[in-house]
Amino acid sequence: MNATQRDDGLVGIYGGTFDPVHLGHIRTALQLRRELPFAEIRMLPAGQPPHRDPPEASAAQRWYMITRVTGPERGLVADDRELRRPGPSYAVDTLEELRAELGEARPLAWILGMDAFAGFDTWHRWREIPRLAHLVVMTRPGVREPERGPVADLLRERRAVQPQALTERPAGRILVWRVEPLDFSATDVRECIRSGKQPRFLIPGVIWSYIQREGLYGSAH
Ligand code: ATP
């Protein structure tokens, strides 16, 4: 923890597969760190993501990559708790663990993209999540806010207009935040590499060097 971080401030949890971590993740995390009252943002690679195919890169490889782009000087901290926990990585379990560690009063916010938020009602014990944390939903090009159904209802009930709402209480509000549009995903990065192209401008050079060294995503052709 550095001098600018406070041990009672808002903690952001940016979960994802990070297969691989790309500039869409890094730039949005840094933008949220700058624009919202976060004391720190924890980047948490999922061990076994419950809603998708298993990642191509191993847990150790995804952990290595995330630690290349995080650092306390950026206010981004890598957290390996989901990689260490056996079984599917459910956000609700992670948040219960963090609540127990950080205490009832500490404001926590789970950060997710609008695409992930649209399917929030399929998450394990999703109705309990707002009791444990706020949600910060990042806009994503081509993905509209849900207009009907349980996720739209949840958003209507809990929507925060101002970022300060996230520090006024420990959990329960949903803030939709416009992030600089970066219209690509880790799937696009993997496809770009597999087709023999260089993923310039999509991932940092240090991540590309590592992917080539490890022969990940079919880069060894
Ligand atoms: P994949 O294509 O493998 O599904 P992804 O990049 O969409 O990968 P994750 O690595 O699981 O997804 O991303 C973690 C979180 O970051 C998700 O909540 C996702 O919505 C969000 N995210 C990823 N890329 C962007 C982006 N370019 N802009 C905004 N949010 C993003």
Longest CA–CA span in the chain (Å) reads: 53
> Which among 116, 113, 136 has a CA at the least distance from the CA of 10?
136
Assess if residue 198 is contained within a domain.
Answer: no
pLDDT at 2: 43
Q: Tell me the percentage of the chain whose pLDDT exceeds 70.
A: 97
With tokens 């500490």, the residue in question is: 106
116 lines ligand 1 (CB under 6 A): yes
User: Domain count of the chain?
Assistant: 1
Residue closest by Cα to atom 14 of ligand 1 = 16
Assess if residue 114 is contained within a domain.
Answer: yes
Assess if residue 129 is contained within a domain.
Answer: yes
CA distance linking residue 146 with residue 19, whole number of Å: 26
pLDDT at 73: 82
Position 23, amino acid: L
Atom of ligand 1 nearest to the CA of 24: 27
Q: What mean pLDDT value characterizes the chain?
A: 94
> Which among 77, 78, 113, 107 has a CA at the least distance from the CA of 95?
107
168 lines ligand 1 (CB under 6 A): no
CA-CA distances (angstroms) from residue 201 to 90, 104, 164, 221? Answer: 31, 41, 33, 21
Q: Average of pLDDT values for 97-104?
A: 96
28 lines ligand 1 (CB under 6 A): yes
Assess if residue 197 is contained within a domain.
Answer: no
Q: Calculate how far, in angstroms, residue 187's C-alpha sits from the geometric centre of ligand 1.
A: 9
3 pLDDT higher than 60: no
Q: Tell me the percentage of the chain whose pLDDT exceeds 90.
A: 88
Position 49, amino acid: P
> Which among 139, 172, 166 has a CA at the least distance from the CA of 154?
172
pLDDT at 31: 96
Q: Calculate how far, in angstroms, residue 120's C-alpha sits from the geometric centre of ligand 1.
A: 14
- Residue 6 pLDDT level (bands cut at 50, 70, 90): low
29 pLDDT higher than 80: yes
57 pLDDT higher than 60: yes
Q: Calculate how far, in angstroms, residue 169's C-alpha sits from the geometric centre of ligand 1.
A: 27
Assess if residue 92 is contained within a domain.
Answer: yes
Polymer length in residues for the chain:
221
Residue pLDDT, tens place only, 119-171: 999 999 999 999 999 999 999 999 999 999 999 999 999 999 999 999 999 99
Atom of ligand 1 nearest to the CA of 23: 27
Point out the least confidently predicted range of 56-60, 206-210, 217-221.
Answer: 217-221
4 pLDDT higher than 50: no
CA distance linking residue 99 with residue 121, whole number of Å: 22
Structural domain of 33: 10-185
138 lines ligand 1 (CB under 6 A): yes
**Residue 126's domain is classified under what CATH number?**
3.40.50.620
- Residue 51 pLDDT level (bands cut at 50, 70, 90): confident
24 lines ligand 1 (CB under 6 A): yes
Assess if residue 26 is contained within a domain.
Answer: yes
With tokens 């880790």, the residue in question is: 186
Assess if residue 2 is contained within a domain.
Answer: no
Assess if residue 202 is contained within a domain.
Answer: no
Check: CB of residue 186 under 8 Å from CB of residue 65: no
Atom of ligand 1 nearest to the CA of 49: 11
Q: Calculate how far, in angstroms, residue 3's C-alpha sits from the geometric centre of ligand 1.
A: 30
Q: Calculate how far, in angstroms, residue 91's C-alpha sits from the geometric centre of ligand 1.
A: 15
